[in-house]
Amino acid sequence: EAQVTQNPRYLITVTGKKLTVTCSQNMNHEYMSWYRQDPGLGLRQIYYSMNVEVTDKGDVPEGYKVSRKEKRNFPLILESPSPNQTSLYFCASTRLGAGGYTFGSGTRLTVV
Amino acid sequence: QQPVQSPQAVILREGEDAVINCSSSKALYSVHWYRQKHGEAPVFLMILLKGGEQKGHDKISASFNEKKQQSSLYLTASQLSYSGTYFCGTETSDSNYQLIWGAGTKLIIKP
């Protein structure tokens, strides 16, 4: 089944404790992206990647890191999480120029 | 700049029709439409490319007016399953495949 897999689905952590949210797709998509979704603010892009070893900042990159060492994986790293990073996070992928985005199931992150 | 979606919310009875609009201040290359149910991921509905072609998906269709820089999503004879928040994502010719998302339109269908 074609899908984007995100883990974990739920995560509660403390301020300053490094964490990684994993994202993997099995569709051989070149493009992958991370979004955060907050009430009333819609989807805001954090980082995106057009291909392996190519990453770029989105609209709200501060406090986040990403890497794209393999085509299928695009992990989101929070080196020192803060409470304002409490949000619902989505990973998405697509074949460039060929159609819609496939989203992962989301990760609800709470930083206390 | 974020496209403007209207209305922000709409409540319908099952079987009624709805129109959701997405307007941009920039010239558009494509418009995507997605539906998100509460607590779930957005699901792709359709993409409209520059050219004004109307697309359909069961009883959900959409149009794209390049000159007006806007797209409309039409839901006819709405079903309970249509409930959710609808987002448009817009791509401009210089956006390098990036989508700028609207704030969403919440659709509630009552029996």
Give residue-wise pLDDT tens across range B65-89.
888 899 999 999 899 999 999 999 9
- pLDDT tens digits, A53-80: 999 999 999 999 999 999 999 999 999 9
pLDDT of residue B54: 62
Q: How far apart are CA A5 and CA A103, in angstroms?
A: 9
The helix/strand/coil state of A100 is coil
B2-14: average pLDDT: 95
pLDDT of residue B53: 63
The count of CB pairs under 8 A between chains A and B is 47
Residues of chain B with pLDDT > 90, as a percent, come to 63
Interface contact flag, B46 A45, Cβ < 8 Å: no
Q: How far apart are CA B24 and CA B34, in angstroms?
A: 17
Q: How far apart are CA A72 and CA A70, in angstroms?
A: 6
Ordered alpha helix ranges (H), B14-64: none
pLDDT of residue A110: 98
Interface contact flag, A101 B32, Cβ < 8 Å: yes
pLDDT of residue A97: 74
Closest A-chain CA to B33: A100
Which residues of chain A are within 8 Å of residue B96 when distances are taken between CB atoms? 50
Q: How far is CA B33 from the centre of its chain?
A: 4
B38-51: average pLDDT: 89
Measured distance between the N- and C-terminal CA atoms of chain A, rounded to whole angstroms: 36
Which residues of chain A are within 8 Å of residue B98 when distances are taken between CB atoms? 45, 48, 58
Q: How far apart are CA B64 and CA A69, in angstroms?
A: 38
Q: How far apart are CA A3 and CA A34, in angstroms?
A: 15
pLDDT of residue B42: 95
pLDDT of residue A96: 82
- From B68, B72, B63, B56, select the one nearest B21 (Cα to Cα): B72
**Single-letter code of the amino acid located at A74:** F
- From B104, B82, B108, select the one nearest B6 (Cα to Cα): B104
Q: What is the DSSP string of A3-37?
A: -EEEE-SEEEE-TT--EEEEEEESS--SEEEEEEE
- From A43, A29, A110, A33, select the one nearest A76 (Cα to Cα): A33
Q: How far apart are CA A76 and CA B55, in angstroms?
A: 35
Which residues of chain B are within 8 Å of residue A90 when distances are taken between CB atoms? 41-42
**Who wins on pLDDT, A30 or B52?**
A30
pLDDT of residue B104: 95
